[in-house]
Amino acid sequence: MARYIGNKCKLCRREGMKLFLKGQRCFTDKCALSRRDYPPGVHAQRRSKVTDYGLHLREKQKLKRIYGVLERQFRLYFKEAERRKGNTGENLLSLLERRLDNVVLASGFALSRNHARQMIRHGHFRVNSRRVDIPSFQVRPGDKVVPREHEKTKKMVDEAIEVNKSQAAPDWITVTGEAAEVVGLPRREHIIHPIQEQLVVELCSK
C-alpha cells in the first residue's frame, strides 16, 4: 500500500492551511503553521505569481492530502464520481468521506487519520460484525462500525475518545459509546474543509 511518509507539517505549510494530519496536536501551539505560516523551502518566501492552473492544482492537492490518498487512487475516485448521477464534485467528496478510515477518525476512535488507518489495517475494527482491514472500504447507510473486543483495542479506542471528547461526530454518523452507525450519506454541508471542489473537477476533467 503506497503512502506518504514525509514530514506532514510541511504539507500544511505548503497548502497554507491546517490539514489536521496530526490530530489534536494541530489545535495546539506546537502546530508548525502557527509558527511558520509560509511554504517550506529555501525560496518559499519569494513572491511569485499564481497561475490559474496553480489555483486548480492546489485545490486538488489539498483534497488528496486531507484524505491521505495518492494520485492513482484519487483518479479512480474521480472516475467513479463522474460515473454517478448528480454533481461530480459533491459525489467525489462523498466518496472520500465514506472511507472507513475517515469514519473511524470522525467518530473519535483514533488520534489521527494515520492512526485510524493503522488500526484498521491491524484488524481492530468490525463493520457489521465482520473484520475489515481495508482503510478505503466504503461504508453505507445502516453500517455499524465497532472496535473488536480485545483489551489492547479497547485501551487505544478509550484513549482516543478521551482526547477527542470535545469533537462532535458529523450528522451522518451516530456515535453511542464505542459504536458508530452510519445513518445517512454525507452531504456537502457536512464537509467542514474549505475545499472548492469545482476547481478540482475542472482540473481533472481536462
Q: pLDDT tens digits for 170-201?
A: 899 999 888 999 999 998 888 888 888 898 99
Reply yes or no on whether the pLDDT at 58 is more than 80: yes
Q: Which of 27-31, 115-119, 155-159 has the lowest mean pLDDT?
A: 27-31
CATH code 1.10.1050.10 region(s) in the chain: 8-86
* Minimum mean pLDDT range among 123-137, 139-153, 165-179: 165-179
71-100, pLDDT tens digit by residue? 999 999 999 999 999 899 999 999 999 999
CA distance linking residue 22 with residue 33, whole number of Å: 12
Handedness of CA 143, 135, 27, 57 (dihedral sign): negative
Fold designation for 99-184? 3.10.290
The CATH number of the structural domain formed by 8-86 is 1.10.1050.10
Contact at 8 Å (CB) between 160 and 109?
A: yes
Alpha helices of the chain — where are they, by DSSP H? 8-15, 32-35, 52-67, 71-83, 88-97, 100-106, 113-121, 151-163, 197-204
Phi/psi at 154 (nearest 5 deg)?
Answer: -60, -40
Q: Which has the closest alpha carbon to 4: 76, 64, 49?
A: 64
- Residue ranges of the chain that CATH labels 3.10.290.10: 99-184
